[in-house]
Structure 1
């Protein structure tokens, strides 16, 4: 019986997969790589790894759904290529989540490559806070100083706690929840998919848990935090507008 299936989407990340896949493969029962463009997989793959090669690039959500549909585990682990999981990270997440009937999503404690904490458990965004984070206003009101409550910077906890949403770099998801929600929303060009998934899970009564006993390292590029005028910034803005259109009640949280 397959318990945990893993899906990794690679958009030209062959080098990163050389590190990730050997670490991830021993922790899961099934491993699928969705190659979103040529050159997305290394020459050598762990045994039993399956590769889905797209004939044309798809959006991230579409790729996650594609990989999920190709697997059969009760749980689906999605990982970014730039994550290095500890040897027991999936097992810790699974052991915790499986004990809670309504746990739909579980995520680990994440650190930067230098070992410093990366705050991946966050509150749902507000319109005003997002405007500050994604515009030059961030120079006047530095988010990591003025929005500590959004990033939960004063809560580096050591025991599992519930979350509004979890950064989608490494998420264990219950398939029953994904089936109920219809998977990841493929209407997002890029960015905000993880917020949307957690928000829809919350509305459907599924719990989202931060499990710090599970540890991963994430070499996060943070493109939208480094540049205001970029293609990625435009994608993020459009995704946030879609989030508000899909969930207009969030406008009350200005």
Structure 2
């Protein structure tokens, strides 16, 4: 088996039903694998310890978020690159080799990602332009509900190029940012950047990473000639994750789009009010725990946006010195 100069880092949280396929594929590629579990309650650590003894396992007593968990796994890595792989993503050995070879053969590239394909064969749009006020407004107020071909018609040039890169596979091309569900990054670059920004509990770490890579003159490459299977959204419900999504969005704009932070914050507040109203109406028609969770989520999002302060959110959060290495 050809040795791949990379270490795979997998972060889990209640991922027992997905992680086996993920780990089997990574180990079959000959990769050292580090798994950081964020306080799962479904038996994920026990399963990994029993069935995958070759995996370096670290179990956190609390959910410390994705970015900090990745930084825990990064401690002491000696390979030339790091593969970040979600537990609901299956990365074939050929794809792992292709990603690492792209970093080896193209010294100008710092981050590279494969084509992502759902289990039903559909191709995911996983390469994107950096977000702007326009893209956020479109996402907040309905454009995300439109089919991809329709959205493409109303998109700017950079967004159309990203759609084409994903949906019309061809030559590798540079893009603004790629999905963190599966990507490879140079270890020295990630360490120089101080790891992932731990100010993001989940979401936006990938866009932040790629933006900072570009600022270090390290290109981000989308590699459609290799692919991985991604289920997506497997370990958390929307009611749990939505507040983290909006908190991370506000942080990203505070740090990198300060001139539009105010309008984005206002858009989030309005969307939270609309979401609360719609969730309450749905609860009247279909009462139950799902409706109540949505109401609580939108109220929490409103609270987050109402309290958001641009100066505070824009502060960098360094890699924590308390992040232990895997054993």
TM-score range, shorter chain: 0.7 to 0.9
Name the CA distance, whole Å, in 2 between partners of 1:20 and 1:250: 41
TM-score by length of 1: 0.88
CA deviation after TM superposition for structure 1 residue 233, in Å: 2.4
Name the CA distance, whole Å, in 1 between partners of 2:16 and 2:80: 28
Work out whether 1:213 is the aligned partner of 2:225.
yes
SS at match of 1:243: helix
SS at match of 1:97: helix
Name the CA distance, whole Å, in 1 between partners of 2:212 and 2:9: 21
Contact 2:127–2:222 under 8 Å retained in 1: yes
Q: Choose between structure 1 and 2: higher strand proportion.
A: 1
CA deviation after TM superposition for structure 1 residue 238, in Å: 1.5
Contact 1:9–1:33 under 8 Å retained in 2: yes
CA deviation after TM superposition for structure 1 residue 23, in Å: 0.7
TM-score by length of 2: 0.69
Structure 1 counterpart of 2:292: none
Give CA-to-partner distance per residue, 1:189-215, whole Å, 9 cap, x none: 221111111111111111111111221
SS at match of 1:15: coil
Structure 2 counterpart of 1:81: 87
Structure 1 counterpart of 2:204: 192
Name the CA distance, whole Å, in 2 between partners of 1:250 and 1:7: 35
Structure 2 counterpart of 1:246: 255
CA deviation after TM superposition for structure 1 residue 46, in Å: 3.4
Give CA-to-partner distance per residue, 1:110-136, whole Å, 9 cap, x none: 111111111111111111211221x34
Name the CA distance, whole Å, in 2 between partners of 1:9 and 1:18: 13
Which blocks of at least 5 consecutive residues in structure 2 are unaligned?
Answer: 265-327
Work out whether 1:95 is the aligned partner of 2:97.
no
Alignment RMSD: 2.6
Structure 2 counterpart of 1:21: 23
Name the CA distance, whole Å, in 2 between partners of 1:167 and 1:192: 9
For 1:9-48, what aligned pairs fall within 5 Å after superposition?
9-38=11-40, 39-41=43-45, 42-43=47-48, 44-48=50-54
Greater Rg by CA = 2
Q: Choose between structure 1 and 2: higher helix proportion.
A: 2
Name the CA distance, whole Å, in 1 between partners of 2:147 and 2:252: 21
Among candidates 170, 182, 204, match of residue 194 of structure 2: 182
Among candidates 136, 142, 146, match of residue 142 of structure 1: 146
CA deviation after TM superposition for structure 1 residue 154, in Å: 3.0
CA deviation after TM superposition for structure 1 residue 12, in Å: 1.2
Name the CA distance, whole Å, in 1 between partners of 2:230 and 2:210: 20
CA deviation after TM superposition for structure 1 residue 146, in Å: 2.9
Contact 1:23–1:87 under 8 Å retained in 2: yes
Contact 2:29–2:92 under 8 Å retained in 1: no
Name the CA distance, whole Å, in 1 between partners of 2:129 and 2:209: 14
